[in-house]
Amino acid sequence: MIFEFTVHPSFSFVTSFARKLNVRVSKDRLTIPASLGRGYVKSIDIEAGFKFVLHHYTLKEDLQLRRLAPPEKSDLISIIFNSQEVPSHDSADQQSAIQFLKTNGSAIQIASSSLGTETLFPAGREVNFGVIGIRSSLLASLLHMTKPQGALATILNSEADFFFHESMTPDAQRILQQLSAANSPNELDHLYYRIRIQELLYGLFSNLLHRDTERHSPINHTDLNSLYTIRTTMLADLSLPPRLNELAQKTGMSETKMKQLFRQVFGDTIYNYYQKVRMEEAAFLLKKAGYSVSETGYQLGFSNLSHFSRLFERHYGLTPKKFTLAG
């Protein structure tokens, strides 16, 4: 199933998606019909110019969400909190889940709503993500920063299209799970959602504060697709370090542009990002997939397990063996 939409100040995802599915909306909530799957989409209006849409469902067919670039530019900012979990302990499904997480794993995306994006959710996979839509002027008032710099200055003041990618933190995942579980009507629901959503914003912008303050370059849909091609290519085989010249040729970018835009969007150099994800996968293989230390090291391309152990300890503060035994 493909759902295309364009974001504008009066747009309602729940109403539009309900029309696509031919179902009714009750109290700003769309329930997925049993013929299509299970779950819901819920909209929470925090205040004028500030809303949150929560997606929590499993569908019987693939869902592709296409946000199209609007004909007119607006000051709306979209912030997507996407949490994907491994659903089963079955070994075959674990391998499928690992592959899925490599390309669709937990992430936070901050973008100007004038930039078109696409997201694919495979059939049978639990979808759990939230989208904050907020006007830049309202976000600036909420953050109350006197001199925002770097990524924050771009998000709050830039006239150019922007897109930033951040990893989901455990705190953000926890809050998103709490929001998904808050199904019982309560007179304090509005206050509860407001507090939790502001927690999500606080955690996100606390991390963005640490990004470099280098000059921001405008980004378009083609550039964004190229950057995600680079990321997907790297994650497809973490046993092989990225070769910059090959990645640049694959995307048709110059190495200089590729490196600058990758660091701008993902917050780190290509190689540092590769090593970080490599260690995250090592932690995943050790803790959730049940690999041994040697199996994990060799799987990720380490011929020297001592080197793997030192690098892992530098990232997590524990050796792989102690990390596996830790509760």
Q: pLDDT digit string (tens) for 69-108?
A: 888 878 889 999 986 543 333 334 444 444 444 444 568 8
Structure tokens at 106: 């937990």
SS3 content of the chain, % helix, strand, coil (to 5): 45, 20, 35
Which residues, at least 6 apart from 55, have a Cβ–Cβ distance to it below 8 Å? 39, 41, 127, 128, 129, 130, 131
Element holding 152 (H helix, E strand): helix 150-157
pLDDT for 146 equals 85
Domain 221-325 superfamily per CATH:
Homeodomain-like (1.10.10.60)
**Ramachandran bin of 22, using left for φ above 0, alpha for ψ from -120 to 50, beta for the remaining angles:** left
pLDDT for 126 equals 85
Strands (DSSP E) found in the chain? 2-6, 25-26, 29-31, 37-47, 50-59, 63-68, 76-82, 107-112, 117-121, 127-135, 163-167
What is the edge-to-edge ordering of all strands in the sheet holding 50-59? Answer: 25-26, 29-31, 37-47, 50-59, 127-135, 76-82, 107-112, 163-167
27, 47 contact by CB (below 8 A): no
| Other residues' Cβ atoms within 10 Å of the Cβ of residue 51 | 20
200, 132 contact by CB (below 8 A): yes
Provide the angle, in degrees to the nearest 10, between the axes of the packed helices 136-143 and 150-157. Answer: 140
Rounded (5°) CA angle 274-278-284: 145
> What phi and psi values does residue 133 have, to the nearest 5 degrees?
-110, 120
pLDDT for 83 equals 64
Which residues, at least 6 apart from 323, have a Cβ–Cβ distance to it below 8 Å? 283, 286, 287, 312, 316
pLDDT digit string, tens, across residues 208-245: 888 876 678 888 888 888 998 898 888 888 999 999 99
Structure tokens at 112: 């100007």
Q: Where does residue 34 rank: exposed (0-12), middle (13-18), buried (19+ CB within 10 A)? A: exposed
pLDDT digit string, tens, across residues 31-80: 999 999 999 999 999 999 999 999 999 999 998 888 888 888 788 899 99
Domain residue limits, the chain: 2-208, 221-325
Its pTM stands at 0.83
pLDDT digit string, tens, across residues 97-147: 444 444 445 688 898 888 888 788 889 888 888 999 999 999 999 999 888
In angstroms, the CA 44 to CA 51 distance is 6
pLDDT digit string, tens, across residues 159-191: 778 899 988 888 888 898 888 887 666 778 889
pLDDT digit string, tens, across residues 273-316: 999 989 989 998 998 788 999 999 999 999 999 999 999 999 99
